[in-house]
Structure formats: C-alpha cells, structure tokens
Amino acid sequence: MKNFAERIRFNGLMATGMMIAGTLAGSALAQDALPSREEMWRVIQAQQKEIDALKAAQTGTEKRVVATEEKVEATGAVVAQQMEKADTSPAGWWNNTSIGGYGELHYNGGRKDEIDAHRFVLFVEHQFTDNMRFFSEVELEHSVAGEGENGEVDLEQAFLEFGLGGKQKAQAGVFLLPIGIMNETHEPPTFYGVERNGVETNIIPTTWREGGAQILGELGNGFSYNASIHSGLEVATAGGNAFKPRDGRTEASEAPANDPAMTARLRWNGMPGVELSVSGQYQNDITQSADDTQAFLVETHADIRRGPWGLRALYARWEIDGAAAKALGRDEQYGWYAEPSYRFAVPLGEIGLFARYSRWDNTAGDKLDSKFDQTQLGVNFWPHPDVVLKADYQFDDAPASTSEDDRFNLGVGFQF
Amino acid sequence: MRSCLALFGFALILLAPPARGEVYLTPDKFLADSFAGAAPPPKIIWLTGELAQQAEAVLGHKAAALRIRYWADGARSAWILDETGKTEAITAGFVIEDQKIARVQVLEFRESRGGEVRHPFFTNQFIGLSLQENDRLSEPVDGISGATLSVRAVETMAKFALLLARHVRPSESAAP
C-alpha cells in the first residue's frame, strides 16, 4: 500500500513537471515567431510614412477638385455670356418683333355639311420701346379669298399702344371693341364649342373691330376700364339686313367718319377665376345719314372658372331709335346665353364638358316670334394647353324651320 | 364735339409721360424680405443630366440658362425666375420651404396685358403647394380671365422652383 501511494505521488509530480516543461518550451518557440520590437517599430514608421503620403495626396486632390470647380464655374460664366450675346447680336428690329397666331378647321354636319378651314390668323407684335409697341392681327377666313371665293382677308387689329404710367395705357388704330367675352379673346383653345356662340356673333356682333383711339387701365381693387371713340356702324335702312349690327360693321375700311361711336367698359376680376363686366356703346346715328338714328348697346357678363367648374353667362341688348327701325321690329335686339362647364385632367391632357343654352332675337321690337334658341352639348380635349379638339351637337329652335340645323360639329384649333 | 373728342384723345396720347415696364419689387428687396432682412450668399445649381431633362418637362421647353442662382438657408430657398407670358418675360420670386411654396411675388411685369397676376388674390393660391410626380402642382390654381398666358407663366415658374429646390443639397454647389 505504501509503495502504491508513493508511486502515485511520484507519477503526479512527474506529469506536472512535464507539463511545465512543455509550456515553457512552447512559449520560447512562440517568442521566437513574433517580430522583435525593433522590427515592429520599423513597420510602424513605414505605415506612418504611408499615411502621411496618402494625406498629402488627398490634400492635393482636394485642391485640384476646388480648382476644377473654379474652372467649371468660369467656363459656365463664359458660356452664359456667349449665350446672351448670341441672343442679341446682330442687333436689329427683329429682336423686338414677335409672331403668333391661331387657326381652326371645322366639320359641320347636318344641312351645312361642309369642311372648312374657318380661320387662320397671324399676329405680329413689335416693341419700339419699353412703353411703346405695335400690335397687328391679320386673318384669312375660309381658306381662299378673292372675287368669287368664299374667303376673305381682314385686318383684324393694327394699333399702337402707349404706356401712360400708373398702369394706364392708350391705343390708337384698329382694335377690338371691349364688349362681350369673345370679342377680344377668341382663340380656339379659350372657348367651348366648334363655332362661336350665336349671341355674341349676332348681337354684339363678334368679332367687332373699329378704328379709333382708346384709353384703358386699372383702377385698383380688381377694377379695370376701357373708354374709346371709334368709327361707328353703318347699317342698311332697308332690306333683309336693315338695322342689323353685324351687317353694319365698317371695320375701318374707308369707314364713314360722320358719326363715330363711343364704347366704355368697367370690368372686375379681383378674385381668381372670376370676371364680371359691363359695357356700353352709344352712336348718334348708326345709319351715317342725315337722319339721326341713335343706338345704344349694353352688355354684361360673368365669366367664372373655379376649380374644375366653369360658368359663362352673358346678356346684350340694342335699343335703336327711329321710325324705320321700329317699323321693322329692329328697334330692340337682344340675346343671352348661359354655359356651365366642367374641366378635368386626364393622363394625356385635359377634357372639358359643356352645355350652352342661347337665345337671340334681332327683331324683338315687334310682336312676332322671331327669337332663335339653340342648345349645345359638347366636349373639348386639350392634349396641350394651346391645342384643342372639339365636338358638339346643336339643337336649333327657330321661328322658321328652314333656319334650323340640328347637327354634329367637329373642330380642331390651335394657338401659338 | 366729335372732332374735339378725337383731338382730346390724341392729345392725351401725345402729352402723356413715358412709362417704364412695371417693377413691383426689386430682387434685393424680395430676398431681404424672404430671409428676415439678411439674404444668404447666392449659390449655383447646374442644369445638367437628369435635372436638365426634368426641367424641360416642367417648363415645356429647354431651360434658357445652364446655371440657376439661388439663395438658401437650411430648408428654405429662394429663386428668381423668368418666363415668357405672351411675348415678354415675367420675373417672379419664389420661396420654397420643406418642398412647398412659401411665397410668390411677381417682381417685374413687361407684357401689355395680364398684369393682374401680381395681385395677392392670385399669388396666394400657390402658398403650401408642392410638385407631384406627374409635374403638376398639388392643387389647381384658378386663373384670371384675359390673363391666361401670364397665369400659365407664373404656374410654370412655380413648378420649376419646386423642382430645383428638390435638387438642392447643402454640400452641392459652390458660390459664384
């Protein structure tokens, strides 16, 4: 037993000694694999040199980036200057001249049954100075003008405009009279329906331009005004078109100056999408003859577009003195219309739906039923704000059925 | 009487004092008002690459300038832009904050008609609007009868200012 215990103790001591010896031996071997402190110091120094070199290179790159940005800025400034120079050289009148226009092509079904290049209009505007400009508008109707042809060429506008200061202006020349909604603004994308509405066409009568002088401007709080004196109507006194304003337009074409007319308008558009207006005209003698046949025109309208909803409503009335006009029932002529609409965006543009009810009567002074009623339903599509495709259907109710033409209309129009 | 009226009309034209294009607010005053009296130094954004294409889509034509100057302080930026109404340029200032319009001011109006767009009743409609992915404003803007092209020009500039503000990053552009 004693020998066994002694053998165990001896073996344990031997094992412990061997383990210690093995550990010491391994440690010595590992110490031999690590670099020496001198070697590690050399590595650290080399790495520090590399870091310093990288830092220096980065600084250089940053400087080059800044220099490059400065060069790019300078190049951009030169390019911008050259672009400006290119716009203004060589200098000439054309630099202050601009061209625009509009046009429309129609298809009318029903009895009319025709395709018509109804209008092509060119504007030419020239700016003489900051406060003096010239504006003109030439129109070709129905494609071909000349003797025996359907069309005509008209000088629709040609006036000089002078700035008077304080948002006041003066115009002299041939200009559109400030009456109605469409007389001054009638580019195809600006109104519903293929044809211009019957009330403004037959009563106002749109498009109505005369030669004369006008002052206009803003009064504040959303009010603006026009006051003009211009060549007047010269209506026939006999025949089917006697005392009809549309047929009495002289359009500054060797117009008689015996009896000019005066037109004034007060307009309010002090709220986005809302225009309210009233116009009046007086002419001492619309027959331009020895007998004074006084004529008064009053027109009022609302043109509203709030969000997608729109509403146009207009009333116009003529009062013409004289026995001759009264005998024909043309001493009173009036018209009105109401046009609600709804316009909304679609992926390819905008669509507008409208309905219009119109009534006009060029012979309202007698007791006979001579009023013309027209109902239209239609749609406009604007693939671009300046381009419009139109379709509508009109229902006519006239005293004489031969004057009615229920029909489908198509149109395409543009402005630029 | 008719002759007197005509002569009066023409005399009014000839004797009237000359007028200049309408300047409603100078750019410096606009910028001072927009940044509590002290406008930051101007910066430049370049219309290149994708931004140039987006600008053309919003404007409806190629941008006239290669670089646009702007003023920015944090999330607030101010832009002074030009756009043609019918034939003449309209200059307007826009302040964009957090990608929404904070202020619109017509600075100079050179057209012969349509100047009603300068009134607050029209420009206030733009406050709070942002630019949608389809390049439309987040809300429709009611127009002014007889000023359609001027209205369109201001709308176009508003969308352009929102587009540019979207592309401005503080570290991006250098001062001129």
Asked if residue B106 lies in contact with residue B116, where contact means CB atoms within 8 angstroms, the answer is: no
- In chain A, the percentage of residues whose pLDDT exceeds 70 is 89
For position B65, what pLDDT does the model report?
Answer: 85
A364 lies in some domain: yes
Structure-token match 């507008």, residue found: A352
Confidence of residue A75 (pLDDT cuts 50, 70, 90): confident
Considering only residues A85 and A363, tell me which one the structure prediction assigns the higher pLDDT. A363
Residue B80: other Cβ atoms inside 10 A: 21
For position A94, what pLDDT does the model report?
Answer: 79
The pLDDT tens digits of the residues spanning A141-190 come to: 998 888 888 899 999 999 999 999 878 999 999 999 999 999 999 999 99
Mean pLDDT of A11-25: 60
d(CA A385, CA A174): 29
For position A26, what pLDDT does the model report?
Answer: 54
Residues whose CB is less than 8 angstroms from the CB of residue B121 and which lie 6 or more positions away in sequence, other chains included = A222, A270, A271, A272
pLDDT score of A19 more than 80:
no
Those residues of chain B whose CB sits closer than 8 Å to some CB in chain A are 2, 5-6, 9-10, 12-13, 16-22, 44, 46, 64-67, 86-88, 110, 112, 115-116, 119, 121-122, 125, 136, 140-146, 148, 152, 174, 176
- In chain B, the percentage of residues whose pLDDT exceeds 70 is 84
pLDDT score of B1 more than 90:
no
d(CA A336, CA A312): 10
Question: For chain B, first and last CA: distance in Å?
Answer: 64
The pLDDT tens digits of the residues spanning B22-80 come to: 788 999 999 999 999 889 999 999 988 889 999 999 999 988 888 899 999 988 999 99
The pLDDT tens digits of the residues spanning A276-329 come to: 999 999 999 999 887 789 999 999 999 999 999 999 999 999 999 999 999 999
- Is some CB atom of chain B closer than 8 A to the CB atom of A220? no
Confidence of residue B14 (pLDDT cuts 50, 70, 90): very low
Considering only residues A91 and A271, tell me which one the structure prediction assigns the higher pLDDT. A271
Residues whose CB is less than 8 angstroms from the CB of residue A136 and which lie 6 or more positions away in sequence, other chains included = A123, A124, A125, A155, A157, A158, A159
The pLDDT tens digits of the residues spanning B64-89 come to: 888 899 999 988 999 999 999 988 89
For position B99, what pLDDT does the model report?
Answer: 93
pLDDT score of A20 more than 60:
no
For position B13, what pLDDT does the model report?
Answer: 45
A177-181, A254-258, B95-99: range with lowest mean pLDDT: A254-258
Confidence of residue B15 (pLDDT cuts 50, 70, 90): very low
A202 lies in some domain: yes
Confidence of residue A83 (pLDDT cuts 50, 70, 90): low
B6 lies in some domain: no
A42 lies in some domain: no
Confidence of residue A84 (pLDDT cuts 50, 70, 90): low
Considering only residues A257 and A47, tell me which one the structure prediction assigns the higher pLDDT. A47
- Is some CB atom of chain B closer than 8 A to the CB atom of A315? no
CA distance A171 to chain B (A): 8
A266 lies in some domain: yes
For position B176, what pLDDT does the model report?
Answer: 44
Which 3-state string (H, E, C) describes A191-217? CCCCCCCHHHHHCCCCCCEEEEEEEEE
A161 lies in some domain: yes
pLDDT score of A257 more than 70:
yes
* Number of compact structural domains in chain B: 1
A24-28, A325-329, B18-22, B168-172: range with lowest mean pLDDT: B18-22
Task: Please give the residue range of the domain that contains residue B34.
Answer: 22-166
pTM given for the model: 0.81
What's the CATH code of the domain at A120? 2.40.160.10
B172 lies in some domain: no
- ipTM at complex level: 0.81
Interhelix angle for B49-59 vs B148-166, to 10°?
160
Confidence of residue A23 (pLDDT cuts 50, 70, 90): low
* Number of compact structural domains in chain A: 1
- In chain B, residues with a C-beta closer than 8 Å to the C-beta of A131 are 18-21
A36 lies in some domain: no
CA distance A235 to chain B (A): 20
B27 lies in some domain: yes
Task: Please give the residue range of the domain that contains residue A203.
Answer: 93-415
pLDDT score of A380 more than 70:
yes
Contact B13 A172 (CB under 8 A): yes
